[in-house]
Amino acid sequence: MNHNCRTTKQTFLRRDFLLLAFLIIVIAPTLAAQQASDTMPADTVVADSILVARTPAPPISVTVHDLPNDAGGSIKINWGLSPDDVAGGKARKYRILRAETIDGQRQEFTEIGDVTSGATEFIDGNATSDVEFYYKVMAVNFLSEDNETIWEATSESDEAGPVKSSAQWFDWRRINVFVGVIVLCGFILYYINQAKAGKKLFIRKIAGLEAVDEAVGRATEMGKKIFYIPGTQDMDNVQTIAGVTILGRVAEMAAQYETWLEVPVSRSLVLVTAKEVVKEAYTKVGRPDAYQEDQVHYLTDDQFGYAAGIDGMVVREKPATIFYMGAFYAEALILAETGNSIGAIQIAGTAMPSQLPFFVASCDYTLIGEELFAASAYLSREPKLLGSLKGQDMGKAVILIAIVVGVLLETFGIWKLSNLFTVID
């Protein structure tokens, strides 16, 4: 009987021990958590849970590398979209963070820019060359109202780097431009050598220049003057230079035919240059004594004052021939219509698109655009000038052929030839 009582007592003790262990292991932590929650403010718990719910997943696979084909100072950052970067998702934009390395020590990350959701790259154009940088991309979720941010939740990617930018010797995106320049220079050098070797190069006739002899001859027959107007711009304008070049040829013919050539100018440098050109032309044909200083004279720098002065001279002296070669603006029609009213033969040349229609309408012959610049080669027949002109014409022919072939290829969907002519800015 005593044995049975002892067994029963041990059973009760074991049961009490198990019950106490259960209370310690299970119920005590629950009570402790309940006590902690009772001491923590309720709004803090709610705020933390809301923040976790609003925070987007960070971007993935961030890579950085030096931007190629540039002069340095730029680094390209690429990343994979955040899993929350979907329509209506939590990743609404990405913020780019950068840390600079100074004396081998990485500094703090600072914001350098941001992009909208859906973007996967950013170019840092303010990266100092040969300095190492580290980058992070931050996914941002936010709510704003009246341009004020109410709340913001962010998550950062792993850092990427180090990386540094450097300048490249060549921009390989422009290789097509390099090839085009080589081809054009090849054409020019080839035709210059051909001209020097005595080969006759075909240059299409320019009606306005072919008519120079006729215009000077008419003035000689009528015993009247030739007026030559070199435009209203100074010698820093390429059209004025071309006009003065043609003046040399006209002056040679006027000296040969003993016809008075008058050149009113509106700029002091043009005055000096034109005097030398005309004087040299008279000397070249063996009539230096026929040249007179007042053949080339200055009127005024004022645009419409210059035009009014020439119109007065034209109406009073009624020249047989008038040349307009150079840069002209609003005075073009005023001059040309006055010359047309007295029945003078007029030859004009300019590269001003807005004035070309007026010259075409009121002059007998007009050099359009580049014909003005080709005049010196056309008139002098100097090998270097002829070769350059012919080479440029061949370059234009290649471009025209490429346009025709490209249109056909792209029309029939064979190949997009225009890709060869793309120029990257």
Out of 341, 363, 385, a domain closes at 363
Strand partners for 142: 152
Average pLDDT over residues 294-298: 93
Closest CA to 291 of 299, 280, 307: 280
Would you mind telling me the total number of residues written for the chain in this entry?
425
If you compute the radius of gyration of the chain from its CA atoms, what whole number of angstroms results?
43
Residues 6+ apart with CB under 8 A from 45: 37
pLDDT band at 11 (very low <50, low <70, confident <90, very high): low
For residue range 39-72, list pLDDT tens digits in order. 445 444 444 566 566 788 889 889 999 988 888 8
Q: Which residues face 65 on adjacent strands?
A: 76
pLDDT in tens, 198-220: 888 887 788 888 888 889 999 99
pLDDT of residue 185: 92
pLDDT for position 313: 95
CATH code, domain with 76:
2.60.40.10
- Given a contact cutoff of 8 angstroms between Cβ atoms, the answer to whether 396 and 404 are in contact is no
Is there a single domain that holds both residue 120 and residue 225? no
User: Which of 56-60, 231-235, 306-310, 335-339 is the least confident region?
Assistant: 56-60
Alpha-carbon torsion (23, 26, 28, 34), positive or negative = negative
Check if the beta carbon of residue 228 is closer than 8 Å to that of residue 263: yes
Q: Assess whether 217 and 110 both reside in one domain.
A: no
Question: Is residue 111 in a domain?
Answer: yes
Considering its fold, how many domains does the chain have in total? 2
Phi, psi (5° rounding) for residue 87?
Answer: -55, 120
The model's pTM is: 0.61
Handedness of CA 391, 396, 397, 399 (dihedral sign): positive
254 and 326 housed in the same domain: yes
Q: How many CA atoms lie within 13 A of 95 on its CB side?
A: 15
Please tell me which of 83-97, 141-155, 295-309 the model is most confident about, judged by mean pLDDT.
Answer: 295-309
Residues 154 and 261 reside in one and the same domain: no
**CATH for 241:** 3.40.50
Residue-range definition of the domain harbouring residue 283: 212-363
Answer yes or no: is 168 within a domain.
no
Q: Does 256 lie in the same domain as 132?
A: no
Last residue of a domain, one of 312, 337, 363: 363
